Amino acid sequence: MGVCVTIRVEILAVEARTNRKTRNPPDRPRCMGNYLVAMEAAWLVRDVDSIDDAIGVAVSEAGKRLNSENMDYVEVEVGATGCPACGEPFDSAFVAAQTALVGLGLEMEVFNADSEEHASRIAKSEVGGALRDVPLSVVEIMETPEDE
């Protein structure tokens, strides 16, 4: 009986010295950074006649869905695609048969992420939860300096 109690006390002492979520010892410092994550989304808009209408509807609908989830910190704008001939950017939208595919640019700042990959997963999870059934991909991740 005494051995069982001693082992349990030692296990509790080891658990108290480690972070329960990460199992890392507390004396190991972790570098957490802030990142600006840029994503693109493919938004489908039905019953539109022009590219300008499609862009307006897509940005408005995406903004409504994000704001309804209290995610007003996500910036929404129309994406840009480079012209294959000259390389100049133009709005990412295509209309055929009164149906449009609009490329949206989304930006979100992620605080206290372990790495760029971690920041990417956080951003996709947050935005993907609000914009269900909308294809998302991360375009760029930039580390931002901490405010002093």
98 and 58 in a common domain = yes
User: Which domain does 14 fall in, by range?
Assistant: 1-29
Q: Specify the pLDDT at position 14.
A: 46
Q: Specify the pLDDT at position 99.
A: 96
Per-residue pLDDT of the chain (148 residues; tens, 9 = 90+): 444 433 444 444 444 455 554 555 554 445 688 999 999 999 999 999 999 999 999 999 999 999 988 998 999 999 988 888 998 998 999 999 999 999 999 999 999 999 999 999 999 999 999 999 999 999 999 999 876 4
* Rounded-to-5 percentages of helix, strand, coil across the chain: 30, 35, 30
Q: Specify the pLDDT at position 12.
A: 43
40 and 25 in a common domain = no
C-alpha span between 24 and 112 (Å, rounded): 17
Q: Specify the pLDDT at position 147.
A: 63
For residue 110, give the CATH number of its domain: 3.30.70
104 and 120 in a common domain = yes
Using an 8 Å Cβ cutoff, are 48 and 99 in contact?
yes
39 and 11 in a common domain = no
Q: Specify the pLDDT at position 145.
A: 83
Q: Specify the pLDDT at position 25.
A: 53
C-alpha span between 37 and 54 (Å, rounded): 25
21 and 37 in a common domain = no
Could you list the beta-strand ranges (E) of the chain. 33-46, 75-78, 80-82, 89-91, 93-96, 99-113, 136-144
